[in-house]
Amino acid sequence: MTKLEVLTENRNRANDYVHEVYELVKKRNPDEKEFLQATREIFDSLRPVFAKHPEYIANGILERITEPERIISFRVAWEDDKGKVQVNRGFRVQFNSDLGPYKGGIRFHPSVNSSIMKFLAFEQIFKNALTGQPIGAGKGGSDFDPKGKSDREIMRFTQSFMTELSKHIGPDIDVPAGDIGVGKREIGYMFGQYNRLKGGYEAGVLTGKDPNHGGSLGRKEATGYGTVYFVEEMLNEYGQSIEGKTVIVSGSGNVSTYAMEKAQQLGAKVIACSDSDGYIVDSEGINLATVKRLKEVENKRIADYMKDHPNAEYHPDCSDIWSVACDIALPCATQNEIDEISAHTLIGNGVIAIGEGANMPCTIEAINLFHENRVLFAPAKAANAGGVAVSAMEMSQNSMRLSWTEAEVDERLKVVMHNIFESCKKAAENYGHPGNFAMGANIAGFLKVANAMVAHGIR
């Protein structure tokens, strides 16, 4: 056979393998559209890897990596303030433990179901691998809606949730953290309940704890800051920077707030942000102190921003935020918030870069459009990995029983984000798609886990 014939045969075999396994995943998870979307996005990137490395095919890596090691689903019964019994469904997906204990957040949101849990845990495999830290991948949550619940209701719910979850986690087994609807208050209640049930103090069982009792300084800021560090690295690569650019950021939670803060610190003008009710545009630049007060202290809606800043504009449909013209868009709210139509609008308005702060905020069609139109694209698995990276640093500090300063954590975060960017860039180049950081992230994350899976044997 000529060299060309060998290459063609390897490519065909890789394509057939990816196709066959995707059909298998579809058949096994027919109704899980978010999970299928996340797997398809990864599979599309991996064809050149299987063409070059048939040993991954022989080891059945794709069949194994798409099947969670364990899924726990449980009843969470609790009593609301009126004395009525409420029942929610709790989940923990323990997807992959080849690189370390399962690691990933807990989401409390009414949309939570098996598909959303599995897509998030699946994404976490590659994200956590990219950080270079010793963490496996998991995700958990519940369809509990924290909106409008009293503090005591939150406490009773989280205690009930942890009563079951505690049987399945531990500092060397599975280390949950926060995600949408779960911040340091919820983590605090879960931590208290876990230690009560275990009859001890296991500092490293959860991350995202309050820095005053067991948490890491800089964890709250890490995801948003890390996203902006990654975007800055990507812009620098093309001789640009975030300074002087106009930025819009969806959401107004943890990720969004600190993405806005870092973007402002680096000299960008952030002109819009949102919550699930609507979005605000402040052409003078978003006043972050007001957003923090509304969201971190008063638990108010973003519409209330108008009371302090009457010259800003409020629009009641949050998904329309992408119609605001900008240089850089940072989707930091939730999955699939930028579809093909929003992508067209952003491109039409001259966007130069997208940085995914949320998990899978862009649909596959939107990502393809960005690439086709030469918009720089920072994929979530890489761009938002700063959060879990600092969680792993929290685990280290807990094990050593000491705490690093905020500056020390931030320095380490910068190094991690730089290394992630370099890995994505190199993997994209090595596999023939320079500048495609989404592909680079998928390939670099995959190789790290796949090599560990081969080394650990078929199981």
DSSP string, 84-100: -EEEEEEEEEEEE-SSS
Amino acid at 327: D
Is residue 391 within the footprint of ligand GLU (CB under 6 A)? Answer: yes
Q: Return d(Cα 181, Cα 109) in angstroms, integer.
A: 6
Amino acid at 114: S
Segment near ligand GLU (CB under 6 A); pick from 54-62, 69-77, 383-391, 433-441: 383-391
Total Cβ atoms within 10 A of residue 241: 14
Is residue 105 within the footprint of ligand GLU (CB under 6 A)? Answer: yes
CB of 101 to ligand GLU, least distance (A): 11
CB of 108 to ligand GLU, least distance (A): 12
Residues 207-236 that bind ligand GLU (CB under 6 A): 207-208
Among 332, 388, 393, 444, binds ligand GLU (CB under 6 A): 388
Helix (H) or strand (E) segment spanning residue 79 = strand 70-79
Is residue 131 within the footprint of ligand GLU (CB under 6 A)? Answer: no
Q: Return d(Cα 232, Cα 300) in angstroms, integer.
A: 31
Compute CA distances 80 → 123, 153, 160, 193, 237, whole Å. Answer: 34, 6, 12, 18, 53
Q: How many residues bind ligand GLU (CB under 6 A)?
A: 11
Segment near ligand GLU (CB under 6 A); pick from 49-57, 99-107, 433-441, 443-451: 99-107
Segment near ligand GLU (CB under 6 A); pick from 68-76, 98-106, 229-237, 432-440: 98-106
| 82 backbone φψ class: left, alpha, beta (φ>0; ψ -120 to 50) | alpha
Among 94, 216, 359, 423, binds ligand GLU (CB under 6 A): 359
Smaller CB separation from ligand GLU, 48 or 146:
146
Q: Return d(Cα 130, Cα 383) in angstroms, integer.
A: 10
Place of tokens 């949309």: 111
Smaller CB separation from ligand GLU, 224 or 387:
387
Total Cβ atoms within 10 A of residue 188: 19
Question: The tokens of 6 are what?
Answer: 């060998």
Q: Is 139 a catalytic residue?
A: yes
Please measure the distance between the N-terminal and C-terminal CA atoms of the chain and give it in whole angstroms: 35
Smaller CB separation from ligand GLU, 48 or 100:
100
Residues 394-453 that bind ligand GLU (CB under 6 A): none
CB of 385 to ligand GLU, least distance (A): 7
- The SS3 call for residue 190 is helix
Q: Which residue pairs from 8-14 have beta carbons closer than 8 angstroms and sit at least 24 positions apart in sequence?
A: 10/51, 10/52, 10/54, 11/47, 11/51, 13/50, 13/51, 13/54, 13/57, 14/47, 14/48, 14/49, 14/50, 14/51, 14/54, 14/57
- In this structure, the chain runs to a length of 459
x-or-dash pattern for ligand GLU, window 173-202, by CB under 6 A? Answer: ----x-x-----------------------
x-or-dash pattern for ligand GLU, window 140-179, by CB under 6 A? Answer: -------------------------------------x-x
Amino acid at 333: A
Smaller CB separation from ligand GLU, 41 or 179:
179
Smaller CB separation from ligand GLU, 209 or 295:
209
The active-site residue, picked from 103, 118, 127, 139, is 139
> Which residues in this chain contact ligand GLU in the complex, by CB under 6 A?
103-105, 177, 179, 207-208, 359, 387-388, 391
Catalytic (active-site) positions:
139
